[in-house]
Chains A and B, each alone.
Chain A
Amino acid sequence: MKLSLRIWRQPDAQAPGEMVSYEIDEVSEDASFLEMLDVLNERLISEGDDPVAFDHDCREGICGACSLVIDGQPHGPQAATTTCQLHMRKFKDGDSIDIEPYRAGAFPVIKDLVVDRSAFDRIIQAGGYISAPTGTAPDAHAVPIPKQDADAAFSAAACIGCGACVAACPNGSGMLFMGAKVTHLSLMPQGQPERATRVLGMVAAHDDAGFGGCTNTGECAAACPKEIGLDVIGKLNRDFRKAAVRAA
């Protein structure tokens, strides 16, 4: 198939960027979206141009490195699918496709389509863990956990930290990411002792990083490639309210 691409090109963090048009031909419908970009890059290099920089690694939808906003949608048009797992058979011959980086003040562009998502790591540093130094653990069966709690915790913990929620949110909020971690850890008995300090710390780090506030539009959950739902934001709100009241 033949495609017209418009791709955001920006040489570095300081320089201004712009959408640049490229025509690409003979794209296999079995290729993944990133493989289509690989083919474009091979051509750009042979022509002596700078290839398009984009983040990617595992290419099987789990590392969370790939990002991209394709035609205005983080990870493109297919639901529950990361960019690396999106295949060209979802597009039609002759389509024009816009490819942009995630847009968020907390995710500054490094180059072209590559953004800096270290703000997510800072949110985790502010409390997104259970303090269990190596060697201190009791037997794994010491505390039974109801299956439904363990399953719900897993579903929240399936977050890949890709940042699509932030990219999709009209307010640039990171609440879904944060809610997923808070939900995972607060459903586990091991997570109880730090439950209040965790949520207060994480919310403060989230706000410091420059993410926007949540207005419950639900765009984050609709964009999430791992289908994490708005209930994690509900849980985050509940935990935050309780913790804030107790701290006051």
Chain B
Amino acid sequence: MAVSGILLVLFLVAHMAGNLHVFEGREEMNEYAHGLRTLGEPLLPHESILWILRIGLIACAVVHIWSAVVLTRRALQARPVRYASKKPAKGESRHAVATMRWGAIVVFLFIIWHLLDLTFRTVNPVKDVPDAYGAVIATFSPERWPVTVFYLLALFALFFHLRHGIWSAVQTIAGPDTKWRKRTQAIGLFVALIIVLGFAIVPISVTFGLVN
């Protein structure tokens, strides 16, 4: 859970940084997208590095989801009878109790949409794969505002997921003492904010016409 989670966070950081090319204009954005496919060429065949990364990413996602399912099933078995009265959580990561598992489902559904939209273009008006820039502009265009809302909603879920997930992963792997645990929690919050804001700025800019 922790290791796959950390790798996925690293992917998110890279993905988020790459997205910011959209502000440089169509040419730079598409060149970046093209660069990903031709990474390692001419030494390696076309898209080979990209596929290695994709396979790694898919493996991380599978391991992450599988771990979550195992943990959730164990949790359900560990408490076969629920409490009749509920009180709000009081722990250091109290938000996680309510947001981690539901948030994960929202993020998962979003990823499926996101792949169909901007990777496979099944639901995107721009079918021309090399035109990444065009696809982004098209999907977040003002008249398709529900797409933007869904995107932002997913980011909201992702924020809570990362806010807990980052320090939780460090806690599991490294086991910091109290001082470092507090620092890790702060760093986790900071990274989560950066990632989510970095992602959010693209659809917002497009929808409000700042980029076109």
Q: How far is the CA of A73 from the CA of B94 in the complex (A)?
A: 14
How many chain A residues have a CB neighbour from B under 8 Å?
Answer: 43
Residue B91 interfacial (CB < 8 Å): yes
Interface 9-mer from B7-15, B166-174, B201-209: B166-174
Beta-carbon contacts under 8 Å, B148-203 to A = 164, 167-168, 171-178, 181
B78, A237: Cβ atoms closer than 8 Å: no
B78, A172: Cβ atoms closer than 8 Å: yes
Interface residues on B, range: 35 or more
B85: chain A residues within 8 A (beta carbon)? 6, 71-72, 98, 100
Residue A27 interfacial (CB < 8 Å): no
Q: Of B70, B81, B97, B176, which contacts A217 at CB under 8 A?
A: B97
Chain A: CB-nearest residue to B92:
A218
Q: How far is the CA of A172 from the CA of B75 in the complex (A)?
A: 6
Provide the B81-95 mask, 1 if CB < 8 A to any CB of A, else 0: 111111101111110
B178: chain A residues within 8 A (beta carbon)? 229-231
A105, B93: Cβ atoms closer than 8 Å: no
B171, A219: Cβ atoms closer than 8 Å: no
A106: chain B residues within 8 A (beta carbon)? 78
A222, B96: Cβ atoms closer than 8 Å: no
A223: chain B residues within 8 A (beta carbon)? 90
Provide the A159-186 mask, 1 if CB < 8 A to any CB of B, else 0: 0000000001011110000000000000
Residue B115 interfacial (CB < 8 Å): no
Q: Known contacts A73-B87, A217-B91; is A230 also within 8 Å of B171 by CB? A: yes
Q: Can you pick out 14 interface pairs between chain A and chain B where the beta carbons lie within 8 Å of each other?
A: A73-B87, A100-B83, A103-B81, A103-B82, A104-B79, A105-B78, A170-B79, A171-B78, A172-B79, A217-B97, A219-B90, A219-B91, A220-B91, A237-B175
The 7 closest A-B pairs by CB, nearest first: A218-B91, A172-B78, A238-B175, A212-B78, A218-B92, A234-B175, A72-B87
**Chain A residues within CB distance 8 Å of chain B:** 6, 8, 19, 69, 71-73, 98, 100, 103-106, 168, 170-173, 210-223, 229-231, 233-239, 241
